[in-house]
Structure 1
Amino acid sequence: MPMKDILIELGGGRGGDATLNYGLSLATLLDAHATGVAPVGEVDDAYVFAEAAGVLVQRLSVEMHAAADALCERFLGAAATRGVVAEALKTTISSAAGDRQAAELARHFDLTVVSQPDAQKSTAEPSILQAALFGSGRPILVTPYIQRDPASLEHALVAWDGSREATLALAGALPLLRRAKRVEVTTINAEGLADLPGFNITRHLARHGVRAELRRITSDLDIGNALLSHAADVGADLLVMGGYAHSRFREVVLGGTTRTVLESATLPVLMAH
């Protein structure tokens, strides 16, 4: 099934422009409808209590929504310039139900394009990355904040370890892989495992019209950095991989490889969980 309905996270932080431009270029490439979403956070409860000023809280809320409105207008203008059919919306991410709200929204789209994590992002401009990845059941595409080139499918790199997460990412990426000029299925430090790691999934892709080559890599680096290093070496413009996490005290904690790639990626990364 082709990707015809894309959700794009809007933000004013360091990766906002990169995500907007990449998301719209991807919509152009796929002839897809684009919906921009500007997440709006809540005023921190501790700050409200310390200030004890309802007028200030109201003013901050107005400012947050005005900033989100400006992002929506900018997105619609950029979409119109590119000839992309688009709409924009705001969503309030509450501290109590924010993850659920963002995840439910992302379920209504084929793909959600999000910005690379930014530790300096304010609570007034929350990220929907983790909610969309771990709660939507849909793939996400993380745009690095240094991204300047439009969406391209010259060389797609698929990280394969046979896991459920990698399988979901591969399935979610299939419409893009069918368009890619070159697809490489990469296994890292997988020697010694049964059933020729990567062979069966490469054959599966061929049956879907994707001619993929299999590359086995042995590296002393951790898997995340080995993937990113190899992607840079071969000039890949898309990395497809599973998104891993575990629970701790009712919170979702990113797995080591996932965290490394999200923090250090210099190419777009499609993930699913």
Structure 2
Amino acid sequence: MSLKDILVHVDSSRHCGTRLEAAAALAARHGARLTGLFVRTTPHVPQFVMSQLGPEVAQAQRRFANEAAAKARAAFDEAVTATGVSAEFRTPEGEMLETLVLHARYSDLVVIGQYDRRDDNMADEREAADHVILDSGRPVVVIPHAGHFPVIGDTVLVAWNASREATRAVNDALPLLRAAKTVHVLVINPRHNGVHGHGEIPGADIAGHLARHGVNAIAEHVVAHEVDAGNMLLSRASDAGADLIVMGAYGRSRLRELVLGGATWHILNHMTVPVMMGH
């Protein structure tokens, strides 16, 4: 399997330029076609309000959407021109999350931005990552809202917990893992038995599987029950100099993670490097 179609979500946030640069670099590295998606959303205004304010409201909304789409197109074209990748830009109208998930299903990989509550232009994107990860059936690379990431995939840290979600994430990430210079497999607080068991040497089985796919991975495991998995994962990523984390998402229900916390929730809120998630 190789990456042929990469979709990047384009918005009006101040972080979008960094996201576009990262997506264009990924597309260039893998010889993929890059599609930019800017969703033209129109706030719902009750009919009785429209009747009082007149058609000027709708005209102003459309004018604002056109201006935002034009700025997004210019930013996308700039990133594409810098890398020379084959590209397409789309500006469909619709509800943000539904439209993003729909277009994501026709790509091999989706690139979106980490939600930043301080950026009003991302107000509609609070749950964008969750919806695309859970509903699109495609792997998602989330780009942090802080920092620049010109290279993604030279040093990759795979978070392995022997779950179905982690298995899916590793399989989806194979094109990136094959192209990586260094791959680390990290098992945190492994269990030796059961459906999520890791055997006598935690991480050895998945490392062997990756080796048969041409990926030479360095496997290690840590036992640190006093430190939550999300913090441990980010700490080890920093120690390894990783520029990408690969992990399964929402091994337990999203509601349970929102209430009790969990690795997916922690990483989505505190990521320091791009993260590829699969579900």
Aligned with 1:198 (options 196, 203, 206): 203
2:241 match:
235
What is the CA-CA distance between 1:153 and the residue it aligns to? 2.5
What is the CA-CA distance between 1:71 and the residue it aligns to? 0.4
1:88 match:
89
**Could you say if the C-alpha distance between residues 214 and 61 of structure 1 is closer, same or farther in structure 2, counting changes exceeding 3 Å?**
same
What is the CA-CA distance between 1:129 and the residue it aligns to? 2.4
State the percentage of identical aligned residues.
35
Q: Residue type of the partner of 2:88? A: E
What is the CA-CA distance between 1:246 and the residue it aligns to? 2.5
**What is the Cα-based RMSD across aligned positions, in Å?**
2.6
Matched-pair contact (CA < 8 Å) for 1:8–1:36: yes
Equivalent-residue separation in structure 2 for 1:51 and 1:260 (angstroms):
46
1:131 match:
131
Secondary structure of the equivalent of 1:87? strand
Cα deviation, 1:8-29, whole Å, max 9, x if unaligned, reads 1112213211101111111111
Cα deviation, 1:192-228, whole Å, max 9, x if unaligned, reads 5442332221111111111111110122221111101
Equivalent-residue separation in structure 1 for 2:38 and 2:148 (angstroms):
21
Cα deviation, 1:161-198, whole Å, max 9, x if unaligned, reads 11111111111101000111111110111155442332
Instruction: List gaps (5 residues or longer) in structure 2.
Output: none
Aligned with 1:106 (options 86, 89, 104): 104
**Could you say if the C-alpha distance between residues 145 and 200 of structure 1 is closer, same or farther in structure 2, counting changes exceeding 3 Å?**
same
Matched-pair contact (CA < 8 Å) for 1:43–1:123: no
Instruction: List gaps (5 residues or longer) in structure 1.
Output: none
Matched-pair contact (CA < 8 Å) for 1:42–1:123: no
1:173 match:
173
Aligned with 2:253 (options 246, 253, 264): 246
Cα deviation, 1:112-138, whole Å, max 9, x if unaligned, reads 111111224447873342332111101
Q: Which has the higher strand share?
A: 1
Equivalent-residue separation in structure 2 for 1:156 and 1:124 (angstroms):
28
1:117 match:
115
2:4 match:
4
1:218 match:
223
1:56 match:
57
Matched-pair contact (CA < 8 Å) for 2:73–2:89: yes
* Matched ranges for 1:63-82 at <5 A: 63-82=64-83
Matched-pair contact (CA < 8 Å) for 2:116–2:122: no
